[in-house]
Amino acid sequence: MGEPVAAHHHSLARELECVSQVPIFQELATDQRTSIAKVTRPIHAEKGGLIYRPEEVSQTLYIVNTGQVRLYHLGDDGRERVLRVLNPGDFIGEIALFTDEIHQDYAEATKTTELCTISRTALTALLDRLPPLALSLLSALAVRLRTAERQATLLAIPDALPRLAGYLLTLTDQRVGTYTLPMSKQDLAAYLGMTPESLSRKLKQLATQGIIETVGRRQIKLLDVAALQAVAPQ
Amino acid sequence: MGEPVAAHHHSLARELECVSQVPIFQELATDQRTSIAKVTRPIHAEKGGLIYRPEEVSQTLYIVNTGQVRLYHLGDDGRERVLRVLNPGDFIGEIALFTDEIHQDYAEATKTTELCTISRTALTALLDRLPPLALSLLSALAVRLRTAERQATLLAIPDALPRLAGYLLTLTDQRVGTYTLPMSKQDLAAYLGMTPESLSRKLKQLATQGIIETVGRRQIKLLDVAALQAVAPQ
DNA sequence: CGGATGGTTGACTGGTTTCAAGAGAAGTGG
DNA sequence: CCACTTCTCTTGAAACCAGTCAACCATCCG
């Protein structure tokens, strides 16, 4: 953990590819995307590499192209609290657009990862020039806001089992099938506001009830949707 | 609870006053604000009146002008889980801009309240015509997102005391002084994911430690910032 | 003044955390 | 390809914190 991040020099093709794969740019015309690619700088991070760390000033928008990035706090007990996991298409740093906020968390690549970055000045200029971009960003922020608020209501539930069930419902889109967890179980536990031990026990409980089945280390097979909904809140 | 909401007919002066008091419109020119006022419809709600309820389709942006609105879920145990409390200038329904989302919560006036409403079609038209408006909205959403994510990390903490301390730190901006709680203590308890009883006990604990002092029913006097930070997480 | 609501306090129960140890998987190097 | 290390995950037992239920007090309102 902690190897420096490698920045590459400009090669428009790479940037364009990155920009084109990002949802918030998808609806734009090709020439508009090219103009975005021009102000984009790709960043490469190996597994364990840090994109940014606490105390750093946030003046950049990061968009994950390939790979995965994990955002986490470091509690005073030295334990990590996972805020969020970013998969391709997700982005961080939108606050950088408006204020010189200071990062309070670590952004770490969990595998080999490619990101596009846009500086605040470049992005505000883009927003002036491309009104549809503002709408895309608005839409993306609204979605994130919804999931964050849903997450908050989930976490407000005192009992661990419904909290887990609620999470599994959103993960699986309420359909029977096998799903891969977006993070390790200890990270998931922190994300759900419980200890790894509790998560393990609750998963087992759901398994013995025939609601789910754990496959290997990072996969979960949903068997009984209705039963899971019955356990979940609301 | 549950009295119908009274809608008023158009009287541009009222609408303009409402629009002018809302932060996201503040930076616009007067004529732009007038054009917004034209598509705005004011809504009045008495204490206990519902702005919307679950199952209703969200196609409107609501902006609180005066008064206060409380958003809450109804758990399957019949208990209310407070999502958020809206004070003047705050808004809800931004998701309505992009999808036909269905409301899953109640929006209830906690006192006599005036709101401005804008329909989705009117708002998208406005966003096309007034690019700065999109930026204002973006900025507001980014701020809300930050607080929602902070809230989520707070709630992930298993112990009630640091959770409360973390909340108090954000409420008080880490400065000694007297502050008014934005909601009732039972609502605050639900917002912080604990019972009113626990909140009462934890507040008392902080008081006996000389960190805070409760003044009346809705005010809290912060005495020792450092001690509060020591109790809070991170 | 009386009722309703919001808030506090107390004793008890129960679920989660903690601490500690063990099982399993994955990755490394011989 | 197999031992070995290492890390993740699981399992068990005990302490503890917060939830629950119930009663009481305070405040606000008509």
Map residue A209 onto helix, strand or coil.
coil
Note the pLDDT tens digit of each residue in B126-150. 998 988 899 899 999 999 999 999 9
For B197 and D24, how far is CA from C1' in angstroms? 14
Residues B207, A190: Cα–Cα separation, whole Å: 30
Specify the nucleotide whose C1' lies closest to residue B202 (CA): D18
Whether residue B41 contacts residue B116, with contact meaning beta carbons closer than 8 Å, is answered with yes
Please write down the HEC assignment for all residues of A162-186: HHHHHHHHHHHCCCCEEEECCCCHH
Tell me which chain B residues have a C-beta less than 8 angstroms from the C-beta of A163: none
The reply to whether B118 and B191 lie within a common domain is: no
Q: What is the pLDDT of residue B141?
A: 93
The reply to whether B36 and B135 lie within a common domain is: yes
Neighbouring-strand partners of residue B102: B57
Residues A58, B22: Cα–Cα separation, whole Å: 28
B201-224 in b/e form (b: 16+ CB < 10 A) is: ebbeebeeeebbebeeeeebebbe
Structure token pair of residue A51: 């994109």
Contact B141 A138 (CB under 8 A): yes
Cβ–Cβ contact B135 with A under 8 A? yes
Q: What is the pLDDT of residue A1?
A: 42
Q: Is residue A3 part of a domain?
A: no
Note the pLDDT tens digit of each residue in B180-224. 999 999 999 999 999 999 999 999 999 999 999 999 999 999 999
Positions in chain D where some atom is under 7 Å from a protein CB:
8-13, 17-22, 27-28
Please enumerate in sequence order all residues whose Cβ is within 8 A of that of B51, keeping only pairs 6 or more positions apart, or say none.
B5, B43, B45, B62, B69, B107, B108, B109, B115
What distance in Å separates residue A116's CA from the closest CA in chain B? 20
Residues B83, A127: Cα–Cα separation, whole Å: 31
- CATH code, domain carrying B181: 1.10.10.10
Single out the residue in B154, B171, B202 at which a domain terminates. B154
Single out the residue in A111, A137, A154 at which a domain terminates. A154
Single out the residue in B127, B154, B181 at which a domain terminates. B154
Q: Is residue B196 part of a domain?
A: yes
Cα–Cα distances in angstroms (integers) from residue B192 to residues A50, B47, B82, B90, in the given order: 32, 24, 9, 20
Of residues A90, A93, A5, A84, the one with CA closest to residue A50: A5
Q: What is the pLDDT of residue B1?
A: 43
Structure token pair of residue B155: 């709630």
The reply to whether A45 and A89 lie within a common domain is: yes
Q: Is residue B2 part of a domain?
A: no
Partner residue facing B139 (CB), from A75, A98, A153:
A98
Q: Is residue B1 part of a domain?
A: no
Q: Is residue B3 part of a domain?
A: no
Contact B156 A76 (CB under 8 A): no
Residues B84, B80: Cα–Cα separation, whole Å: 12
Tell me which chain A residues have a C-beta less than 8 angstroms from the C-beta of B143: 95, 98
Structure token pair of residue A142: 């609204």
For B60 and C10, how far is CA from C1' in angstroms? 48
The reply to whether B179 and B130 lie within a common domain is: no
Residues A72, A81: Cα–Cα separation, whole Å: 5
Map residue B73 onto helix, strand or coil.
strand
Note the pLDDT tens digit of each residue in B23-32. 889 888 989 9
Cβ–Cβ contact A155 with B under 8 A? yes
Note the pLDDT tens digit of each residue in B39-80. 999 999 998 999 999 999 999 999 999 899 999 988 777 788
For B197 and D23, how far is CA from C1' in angstroms? 13
Residue A163 pLDDT > 70: yes
The reply to whether A201 and A163 lie within a common domain is: yes
Q: State the CB neighbour count (10 A cutoff) for residue B173.
A: 10
Residues B114, A201: Cα–Cα separation, whole Å: 49
Neighbouring-strand partners of residue A220: A179, A214
The reply to whether A100 and A16 lie within a common domain is: yes
End-to-end CA distance of chain B: 40
A43-68 in b/e form (b: 16+ CB < 10 A) is: bbbeeebbbbeeeeebebbbbbbebb
DSSP state of B57: B
Residue A2 pLDDT > 50: no
Partner residue facing B141 (CB), from A128, A141, A157:
A141
Note the pLDDT tens digit of each residue in A70-115. 898 877 666 778 888 898 889 999 988 888 889 989 999 888 888 9
Instruction: Please tell me which residue, A174 or B96, carries the higher pLDDT value.
Output: A174
Gyration radius of chain B over CA positions: 19
The reply to whether B140 and B85 lie within a common domain is: yes
Whether residue B103 contacts residue B53, with contact meaning beta carbons closer than 8 Å, is answered with yes
DSSP state of A102: B
Whether residue B94 contacts residue B38, with contact meaning beta carbons closer than 8 Å, is answered with no
Mutate to test the interface with A, among B55, B149, B161, B197 (most CBs of A within 10 A): B149
Partner residue facing A148 (CB), from B97, B145, B233:
B145
Mutate to test the interface with A, among B145, B161, B191, B195 (most CBs of A within 10 A): B145
Domain residue limits at A188: 157-231
Contact A142 B97 (CB under 8 A): yes
Q: What is the pLDDT of residue B75?
A: 79
Partner residue facing A75 (CB), from B73, B145, B233:
B233
Cβ–Cβ contact B139 with A under 8 A? yes
Q: What is the pLDDT of residue A3?
A: 45
Q: What is the pLDDT of residue A17?
A: 82
Of residues A45, A67, A43, the one with CA closest to residue A1: A45
Q: Is residue A1 part of a domain?
A: no
Tell me which chain A residues have a C-beta less than 8 angstroms from the C-beta of B134: 127, 131, 134-135, 138
Cβ–Cβ contact A170 with B under 8 A? no
Q: What is the pLDDT of residue B10?
A: 57
Q: What is the pLDDT of residue B5?
A: 52
Contact B142 A95 (CB under 8 A): yes
The reply to whether A12 and A69 lie within a common domain is: yes
The reply to whether B82 and B132 lie within a common domain is: yes
Q: What is the pLDDT of residue A111?
A: 82
The reply to whether B150 and B161 lie within a common domain is: no
Structure token pair of residue A153: 């209501």
Backbone torsions φ then ψ of A196, nearest 5 degrees: -55, -35
Partner residue facing A156 (CB), from B138, B155, B158:
B155
**In the predicted model, what is the mean pLDDT of residues B74-101?**
87
**In the predicted model, what is the mean pLDDT of residues A37-41?**
92
- CATH code, domain carrying B100: 2.60.120.10
Question: Residue B137 half-sphere exposure, CB side, CA atoms within 13 Å?
Answer: 30
Note the pLDDT tens digit of each residue in A51-73. 999 999 999 999 998 888 989 88
The reply to whether A148 and A180 lie within a common domain is: no
Q: What does the mean pLDDT of chain A come to?
A: 89
Q: Is residue A2 part of a domain?
A: no
Q: Is residue A123 part of a domain?
A: yes
Q: What is the pLDDT of residue B98?
A: 86
Q: What is the pLDDT of residue B2?
A: 43
Tell me which chain A residues have a C-beta less than 8 angstroms from the C-beta of B104: 234
Residues B128, B137: Cα–Cα separation, whole Å: 13
Name the domain count of chain B.
2
The reply to whether A216 and A128 lie within a common domain is: no
Structure token pair of residue A56: 């750093």
Of residues A166, A131, A210, A72, the one with CA closest to residue B134: A131
Tell me which chain B residues have a C-beta less than 8 angstroms from the C-beta of A146: 95, 101
